Amino acid sequence: MNKQEKKAYLIGKMYDGAQALYDLFKAIKTDREVDPRELGLELERRYDLTPRQGWALQDISLRAARAIGIVRYLEHRFGLNEDETFRNPGRLHHLLFKGKTPKKLEARSYNFGVGFTRGVWTQKDARGVAYNSHFSDQLAVPLNETFSRLEDNMKNAARAIAFSIPHDNKMEAYAKAEVKRRKALDPRNPEKLTLAIFKGRPTAESVRQEVINHELRHVIDSIINGRRGFFVETQAYMPDMGNLAGLNRDIERKKIHLAKLEGYELQCRVSKPREVDKVVAAIARLREDVYQAEQAEKVLRKLLTRRGTDPEVVSYLFSTQDPRTLIPRIKESLDLEQTVEAGAETQNER
């Protein structure tokens, strides 16, 4: 295998790994009987993943099994109706979040996650909220330890598999706002035609399902990796027809973090000189990440317009890699594909 062949092989494995993750979570979204660990082994064989990819997939499959185990415990403890809503959402909410229980609360099981619908919505700038623990990772420990903490009503990080959305009145308002936004689009704007063909007129139910899918994707990312990486919103928006709005949100969020780090570096030079080298290295990594992410939009649009490319499959690339490694690899894959196509055309001309 020469250098170019090896590069093509590794790029192909990168996409195979994303496809395996897509297949795993698609299965456990729709079938409560699927064992993620068994399916993970099957997918490893099906896509002939590299040993490193196989280990990563098995770890994610184990974390998915633990998430499902936690939800089963909660279903048993608080009761589940035939429509998969919990019988006692208030007590469930208190167990996961402590503090005051919101009024007019509903909770639903999504097999590997729990979704709350709140009658009172105070998040003015968000249509949904997913929870992530910055201090501990409940899916990194055996289920019996988690069950013990939950049984004793102790502080826990199981909220990482939960999310909240507003009630239907809010969804109706969001739908009306989207209708108004689309009407204001220039008729020559490609988005206007694309939305009309593929999405139809927004309704409260269609918006509600979009929000649920978006927040569930954040839950999936908590399962894939207990610590948030550079990309958070990119992969949550992308399955919606290749929407790249999340990419800009992630870049802006990291620019704010970068500014804080640069300020902290100045403080360290005065009061914590031993910390300076460490902070400088972190700043350099983050600057490279931001730079590569800023180059990503053009590359991603080219990737997502390829025939047969599924934005939801591509989105899983962003759940497992940072910009300084991922974006150059995607560029390489597109360049390689172009080289192969050019070679094929030359051969045909002969």
Please report which confidence band the pLDDT of residue 336 belongs to, taking 50, 70 and 90 as the band edges: confident
Range of the domain at 238: 229-350
Please report which confidence band the pLDDT of residue 156 belongs to, taking 50, 70 and 90 as the band edges: confident
Q: Which residue, among 41, 37, 27, 94, has the nearest Cα to 64 in the 3D structure?
A: 37
Does any domain span residue 333? yes
Please report which confidence band the pLDDT of residue 343 belongs to, taking 50, 70 and 90 as the band edges: low
Tokens for 343?
């070679």
Does any domain span residue 22? no
Angle at 315 between CA 196 and CA 67, to 5 degrees: 115
Does any domain span residue 45? no
Does any domain span residue 247? yes
Number of domains in the chain: 1
Does any domain span residue 88? no
Tokens for 56?
């990563």
DSSP class of residue 28 equals: H
3-state secondary structure of 130: strand
pTM of the model: 0.89
Averaged over 95-99, what is the pLDDT? 86
Does any domain span residue 314? yes
Contact, 18 vs 316, CB < 8 A? yes
Integer Cα distance of 75 and 55 in angstroms: 30
How many CB atoms lie under 10 A from the CB of residue 84? 14
Angle at 301 between CA 295 and CA 307, to 5 degrees: 145
DSSP class of residue 88 equals: -
Does any domain span residue 181? no
Q: Which of 21-25, 35-39, 161-165, 188-192 has the lowest mean pLDDT?
A: 188-192
pLDDT on residue 337: 82
Integer Cα distance of 78 and 339 in angstroms: 58
